[in-house]
Structure 1
Amino acid sequence: MTRNAAIRPAALFLVFGTILGACSANEEVSAEAPVAGASCDAVRDTATTDPAYRARCTYGQVTPADIDRLRAFALLKATLALKKDGFDQVGWTGPYEATLGTSTRSGNSAVASGGAPVPPGTPGSRGFDYIVRGWKSQGMTVTQVGAHNVSRLIPELRRQAGLASAN
């Protein structure tokens, strides 16, 4: 086999890999939160055997509109992770109060670092946390309460987060 003949399969593999990567990139979201000074992630919840992710955000000084965008962004990240895991239905609970690395659940309010109760998701709370679960529709015997179709939910969450459409 000549050197050029050996390079052709490798070059084709790289070209096709790049094309496939570009096609799937439409489903990806930036690691950066859509609001300056905020940090969001979706982490597999290992405390449960159910397919679940914790969609979390912490932030500094933000407006209520920014909080709505961050909520959508966090749910989008968890929904995309569950879709990648093969689930086509998602549902969530929350938001729960979270403050810069801690998650405190106490009814409808939580104690912020200043000691005063702060409702979850208000500008003074500094963070929130959702539990997002996935299901496969072919395995569902009854409709899960609060389940959303992933294919329909992703564009809506992108819009609410202020991100460009996935097309």
Structure 2
Amino acid sequence: MTTWQAPAWSVRPEPAGSPAATRLRRAYYAEVATRYWSRPATTTEVDAGTADDPRDRLAPPSGQFVVGTYGGEAASCGGVRLLDGVRAELTRVYVAPAARRTGGGGALLAALEAAALGLGARELVLDTRLDLVEARGLYVKHGFREIPAYNSGPYREIWYGKALLPA
């Protein structure tokens, strides 16, 4: 997979269980849980929430996980996994708060789109919550459009999709 770069950003494939990826996935879960519960998530809650992460499905041949570095520090992550022969799903997309508005979100999405294409996908889909406004803004800015629900669950409130065009 190609390394994607934006000024001061570099995004590369990395195992979802690596130390940097684990730290970022835990930060992602802590942030989304804190927003959902309107109070800081506890370490026990983060442990429980990340125990069900789909790490085994975020590795080739059915998926990919990436980590973005900003100024030499791991500051973003995301995964893509095949749902079927043409659709791949984005998951665990996260940019650390201190690194937001620096181009990292776009570099992260570009790397994930390239990974999805490499897996044979022609469409990217995702689900998210309405309160995750920064993420929703990032997706719309990069060509995602609201689509009908393709799954269900307590934390799924809005769905997005994007057709992928081979480079």
* Alignment TM-score, normalising by the size of structure 2: 0.35
Query: Highest CA radius of gyration, 1 or 2?
Result: 1
